[in-house]
Structure 1
Amino acid sequence: MKPEIAIIRVKNLRLRTYIGIKDDEINNKQDVTINAEIHYCAVKARNSDNMDDALNYRTITKKIIALVENNRFSLLEHLTDQVLNIASEHDWVDFAKVEIDKPHALRFADSVSLQLCYAKQ
Protein backbone atom coordinates (compact mmCIF):
# COMPACT_ATOMS: atom_id res chain seq x y z
CA MET A 1 0.00 0.00 0.00
CA LYS A 2 1.28 3.46 -0.88
CA PRO A 3 1.86 5.78 2.09
CA GLU A 4 -0.44 8.46 0.65
CA ILE A 5 -3.42 6.11 0.71
CA ALA A 6 -5.85 6.77 3.55
CA ILE A 7 -8.30 4.14 4.73
CA ILE A 8 -11.61 5.25 6.18
CA ARG A 9 -13.47 2.60 8.15
CA VAL A 10 -17.08 2.96 9.25
CA LYS A 11 -17.52 0.25 11.87
CA ASN A 12 -20.76 -1.32 13.05
CA LEU A 13 -23.22 1.24 11.72
CA ARG A 14 -26.46 -0.11 13.17
CA LEU A 15 -29.61 0.71 11.20
CA ARG A 16 -33.11 -0.62 10.69
CA THR A 17 -34.71 -1.39 7.35
CA TYR A 18 -37.13 -3.66 5.56
CA ILE A 19 -35.01 -6.56 4.29
CA GLY A 20 -36.17 -9.98 3.17
CA ILE A 21 -38.82 -11.90 1.28
CA LYS A 22 -40.91 -13.52 4.04
CA ASP A 23 -44.11 -11.76 5.17
CA ASP A 24 -42.74 -10.84 8.60
CA GLU A 25 -39.59 -9.39 6.95
CA ILE A 26 -41.67 -7.39 4.49
CA ASN A 27 -43.91 -6.00 7.25
CA ASN A 28 -41.35 -5.34 9.99
CA LYS A 29 -38.08 -3.46 9.99
CA GLN A 30 -35.02 -5.46 10.97
CA ASP A 31 -31.60 -4.56 12.27
CA VAL A 32 -28.65 -4.52 9.90
CA THR A 33 -25.02 -3.77 10.76
CA ILE A 34 -22.88 -2.09 8.12
CA ASN A 35 -19.10 -2.03 7.92
CA ALA A 36 -17.45 -0.05 5.15
CA GLU A 37 -13.84 0.48 4.17
CA ILE A 38 -12.87 3.21 1.72
CA HIS A 39 -9.35 3.79 0.31
CA TYR A 40 -8.38 7.11 -1.25
CA CYS A 41 -5.31 9.22 -1.93
CA ALA A 42 -5.02 11.67 0.97
CA VAL A 43 -1.88 13.58 -0.01
CA LYS A 44 -3.69 16.92 -0.34
CA ALA A 45 -5.54 16.53 2.98
CA ARG A 46 -2.38 15.48 4.80
CA ASN A 47 -0.54 18.54 3.54
CA SER A 48 -3.29 21.16 3.81
CA ASP A 49 -5.43 20.29 6.87
CA ASN A 50 -8.34 21.59 4.78
CA MET A 51 -11.66 19.69 4.75
CA ASP A 52 -12.10 20.42 1.04
CA ASP A 53 -9.05 18.23 0.38
CA ALA A 54 -10.43 15.23 2.31
CA LEU A 55 -13.09 12.65 1.66
CA ASN A 56 -15.97 13.51 4.00
CA TYR A 57 -16.94 10.32 5.82
CA ARG A 58 -19.85 12.08 7.55
CA THR A 59 -21.45 12.92 4.19
CA ILE A 60 -20.96 9.35 2.98
CA THR A 61 -22.44 7.90 6.17
CA LYS A 62 -25.48 10.20 6.02
CA LYS A 63 -26.18 9.03 2.45
CA ILE A 64 -25.94 5.40 3.56
CA ILE A 65 -28.31 6.02 6.48
CA ALA A 66 -30.88 7.70 4.21
CA LEU A 67 -30.68 4.88 1.67
CA VAL A 68 -31.07 2.09 4.21
CA GLU A 69 -33.74 3.65 6.40
CA ASN A 70 -35.93 4.99 3.58
CA ASN A 71 -36.08 1.96 1.28
CA ARG A 72 -37.12 -1.68 1.15
CA PHE A 73 -34.90 -4.52 -0.01
CA SER A 74 -35.66 -8.14 -0.82
CA LEU A 75 -32.06 -9.26 -1.11
CA LEU A 76 -28.99 -8.61 1.00
CA GLU A 77 -27.03 -8.58 -2.27
CA HIS A 78 -29.01 -5.61 -3.57
CA LEU A 79 -28.75 -3.66 -0.32
CA THR A 80 -25.00 -4.27 -0.14
CA ASP A 81 -24.55 -3.20 -3.76
CA GLN A 82 -26.44 0.04 -3.17
CA VAL A 83 -24.33 0.87 -0.10
CA LEU A 84 -21.15 0.02 -2.02
CA ASN A 85 -22.23 2.43 -4.78
CA ILE A 86 -22.38 5.24 -2.21
CA ALA A 87 -19.06 4.25 -0.62
CA SER A 88 -17.30 4.25 -4.00
CA GLU A 89 -19.05 7.09 -5.84
CA HIS A 90 -16.42 9.80 -5.27
CA ASP A 91 -13.74 10.07 -7.97
CA TRP A 92 -10.96 9.89 -5.37
CA VAL A 93 -11.96 6.40 -4.18
CA ASP A 94 -9.57 3.69 -5.38
CA PHE A 95 -11.06 0.78 -3.43
CA ALA A 96 -14.13 0.20 -1.27
CA LYS A 97 -15.47 -2.78 0.62
CA VAL A 98 -18.86 -3.09 2.29
CA GLU A 99 -20.08 -5.89 4.52
CA ILE A 100 -23.64 -5.96 5.82
CA ASP A 101 -24.78 -8.28 8.58
CA LYS A 102 -28.37 -9.35 9.05
CA PRO A 103 -28.52 -10.50 12.69
CA HIS A 104 -30.67 -13.51 13.56
CA ALA A 105 -31.33 -14.38 9.89
CA LEU A 106 -30.55 -18.02 10.68
CA ARG A 107 -31.72 -19.89 13.75
CA PHE A 108 -28.33 -21.07 15.05
CA ALA A 109 -26.15 -18.22 13.75
CA ASP A 110 -25.42 -14.78 15.14
CA SER A 111 -25.93 -13.29 11.69
CA VAL A 112 -25.63 -13.72 7.97
CA SER A 113 -23.44 -11.25 6.14
CA LEU A 114 -22.62 -10.34 2.58
CA GLN A 115 -19.51 -8.50 1.41
CA LEU A 116 -18.91 -6.75 -1.90
CA CYS A 117 -15.85 -4.84 -3.12
CA TYR A 118 -15.12 -2.11 -5.65
CA ALA A 119 -11.68 -1.53 -7.19
CA LYS A 120 -10.93 1.29 -9.62
CA GLN A 121 -9.72 -0.08 -12.94
Structure 2
Amino acid sequence: MRPEIAIIRIKNLRLRTFIGIKDDEIQNKQDVLINAEIHYCAEKARNSDNMDDALNYRTITKKIIELVEHNRFSLLENLTGQVLDITSEHAWVEFASVEVDKPHALRFADSVSMFLCYRKPNDM
Protein backbone atom coordinates (compact mmCIF):
# COMPACT_ATOMS: atom_id res chain seq x y z
CA MET A 1 0.00 0.00 0.00
CA ARG A 2 1.37 3.42 -0.95
CA PRO A 3 1.76 5.85 1.96
CA GLU A 4 -0.45 8.92 1.88
CA ILE A 5 1.28 12.17 1.06
CA ALA A 6 -0.03 15.29 2.76
CA ILE A 7 0.63 18.70 1.30
CA ILE A 8 0.91 21.66 3.64
CA ARG A 9 0.54 25.01 1.90
CA ILE A 10 1.49 28.23 3.62
CA LYS A 11 -0.14 30.89 1.47
CA ASN A 12 0.65 34.59 1.20
CA LEU A 13 2.64 35.00 4.41
CA ARG A 14 3.18 38.77 4.47
CA LEU A 15 6.31 39.91 6.27
CA ARG A 16 8.68 42.88 6.32
CA THR A 17 12.45 42.67 6.09
CA PHE A 18 15.54 44.38 4.79
CA ILE A 19 16.05 43.03 1.27
CA GLY A 20 18.22 44.46 -1.48
CA ILE A 21 21.46 46.25 -2.22
CA LYS A 22 20.41 49.84 -2.92
CA ASP A 23 20.76 52.42 -0.13
CA ASP A 24 17.00 52.82 0.38
CA GLU A 25 16.60 49.01 0.52
CA ILE A 26 19.36 48.74 3.12
CA GLN A 27 17.80 51.48 5.27
CA ASN A 28 14.09 50.60 4.98
CA LYS A 29 12.20 47.37 5.49
CA GLN A 30 10.19 46.15 2.52
CA ASP A 31 7.25 43.81 2.17
CA VAL A 32 7.83 40.25 1.05
CA LEU A 33 5.20 37.64 0.30
CA ILE A 34 6.05 34.01 1.01
CA ASN A 35 4.36 30.89 -0.29
CA ALA A 36 5.57 27.45 0.73
CA GLU A 37 4.51 23.91 -0.01
CA ILE A 38 5.64 20.92 2.04
CA HIS A 39 4.96 17.26 1.18
CA TYR A 40 5.24 14.51 3.79
CA CYS A 41 3.77 11.11 4.57
CA ALA A 42 0.73 11.72 6.77
CA GLU A 43 -0.56 8.19 7.09
CA LYS A 44 0.21 8.01 10.84
CA ALA A 45 -1.35 11.40 11.56
CA ARG A 46 -4.48 10.59 9.58
CA ASN A 47 -4.96 7.36 11.50
CA SER A 48 -3.99 8.56 14.98
CA ASP A 49 -5.23 12.18 15.21
CA ASN A 50 -2.13 12.78 17.37
CA MET A 51 -0.11 15.99 16.87
CA ASP A 52 3.14 14.07 17.44
CA ASP A 53 2.42 12.16 14.22
CA ALA A 54 2.10 15.31 12.08
CA LEU A 55 4.33 18.13 10.91
CA ASN A 56 3.52 21.25 12.88
CA TYR A 57 2.96 24.01 10.31
CA ARG A 58 2.66 26.60 13.09
CA THR A 59 6.21 25.83 14.27
CA ILE A 60 7.52 26.00 10.70
CA THR A 61 5.78 29.34 10.11
CA LYS A 62 7.14 30.81 13.35
CA LYS A 63 10.68 29.86 12.28
CA ILE A 64 10.14 31.55 8.91
CA ILE A 65 8.82 34.71 10.58
CA GLU A 66 11.78 34.81 12.98
CA LEU A 67 14.27 34.40 10.12
CA VAL A 68 12.72 37.00 7.83
CA GLU A 69 11.88 39.71 10.33
CA HIS A 70 15.17 39.59 12.25
CA ASN A 71 17.72 39.44 9.43
CA ARG A 72 18.98 41.39 6.43
CA PHE A 73 19.29 39.97 2.94
CA SER A 74 21.06 41.34 -0.11
CA LEU A 75 19.71 38.71 -2.49
CA LEU A 76 16.25 37.25 -2.99
CA GLU A 77 18.00 33.95 -3.76
CA ASN A 78 19.56 33.87 -0.29
CA LEU A 79 16.32 34.71 1.50
CA THR A 80 14.41 32.10 -0.51
CA GLY A 81 17.10 29.48 0.12
CA GLN A 82 17.05 30.04 3.88
CA VAL A 83 13.24 29.76 3.97
CA LEU A 84 13.52 26.54 1.92
CA ASP A 85 16.00 25.18 4.48
CA ILE A 86 13.40 25.70 7.21
CA THR A 87 10.58 24.08 5.23
CA SER A 88 12.68 21.02 4.34
CA GLU A 89 14.60 20.47 7.59
CA HIS A 90 12.34 17.80 9.11
CA ALA A 91 13.27 14.22 8.20
CA TRP A 92 9.70 13.44 7.09
CA VAL A 93 9.71 16.06 4.32
CA GLU A 94 9.78 14.45 0.88
CA PHE A 95 9.47 17.65 -1.15
CA ALA A 96 9.30 21.36 -0.40
CA SER A 97 9.04 24.49 -2.51
CA VAL A 98 9.20 28.15 -1.63
CA GLU A 99 8.38 31.26 -3.60
CA VAL A 100 9.26 34.69 -2.23
CA ASP A 101 7.80 37.76 -3.92
CA LYS A 102 9.26 41.23 -3.59
CA PRO A 103 6.36 43.54 -4.53
CA HIS A 104 7.11 46.66 -6.53
CA ALA A 105 10.76 45.69 -7.10
CA LEU A 106 10.42 46.72 -10.74
CA ARG A 107 8.66 49.82 -11.97
CA PHE A 108 6.18 48.16 -14.35
CA ALA A 109 5.74 44.82 -12.57
CA ASP A 110 3.60 43.76 -9.63
CA SER A 111 6.55 41.92 -8.12
CA VAL A 112 9.71 39.94 -8.69
CA SER A 113 9.83 36.45 -7.24
CA MET A 114 12.29 33.66 -6.64
CA PHE A 115 11.19 30.02 -6.62
CA LEU A 116 13.31 27.18 -5.21
CA CYS A 117 12.49 23.58 -4.41
CA TYR A 118 13.92 20.63 -2.50
CA ARG A 119 13.40 16.94 -3.18
CA LYS A 120 14.55 14.30 -0.70
CA PRO A 121 17.19 12.06 -2.26
CA ASN A 122 16.08 8.49 -2.96
CA ASP A 123 17.51 5.95 -0.53
CA MET A 124 19.85 3.60 -2.32
In structure 1, the residue corresponding to 2:12 is in which secondary structure? strand
How many Å apart are 1:26 and its aligned residue? Answer: 0.2
In structure 1, the residue corresponding to 2:46 is in which secondary structure? helix
1:39 is aligned to 39
> What is the alpha-carbon distance in structure 2 between the residues aligned to residue 3 and residue 50 of structure 1?
17
> What is the alpha-carbon distance in structure 1 between the residues aligned to residue 97 and residue 13 of structure 2?
14
1:25 aligned partner, one-letter code: E
2:35 aligned partner, one-letter code: N
2:89 is aligned to 89
Question: Could you report, residue by residue, the CA deviation over 1:7-53 in whole angstroms, capped at 9, with x for unpaired residues?
Answer: 00000000000000000000000000000000000010000000000
In structure 2, the residue corresponding to 1:95 is in which secondary structure? strand
> What is the alpha-carbon distance in structure 2 between the residues aligned to residue 84 and residue 114 of structure 1?
11
> What is the alpha-carbon distance in structure 2 between the residues aligned to residue 3 and residue 17 of structure 1?
39
2:18 aligned partner, one-letter code: Y
In structure 1, the residue corresponding to 2:62 is in which secondary structure? helix
Runs of 4+ in structure 1 over 4 Å off: none
1:64 is aligned to 64
Q: Which runs of 5+ in 2 are unaligned?
A: none
1:11 aligned partner, one-letter code: K
TM-score normalised to structure 1 length:
0.98
Aligned residues: 120
Matched, 1:8 2:8: yes
How many Å apart are 1:3 and its aligned residue? Answer: 6.0
Q: Which runs of 5+ in 1 are unaligned?
A: none
> What is the alpha-carbon distance in structure 2 between the residues aligned to residue 18 and residue 3 of structure 1?
41
Structure 1 vs Structure 2: percent identity of aligned residues?
Answer: 83
Matched, 1:115 2:115: yes
How many Å apart are 1:117 and its aligned residue? Answer: 0.2
> What is the alpha-carbon distance in structure 1 between the residues aligned to residue 50 and residue 37 of structure 2?
22
In structure 1, the residue corresponding to 2:24 is in which secondary structure? helix
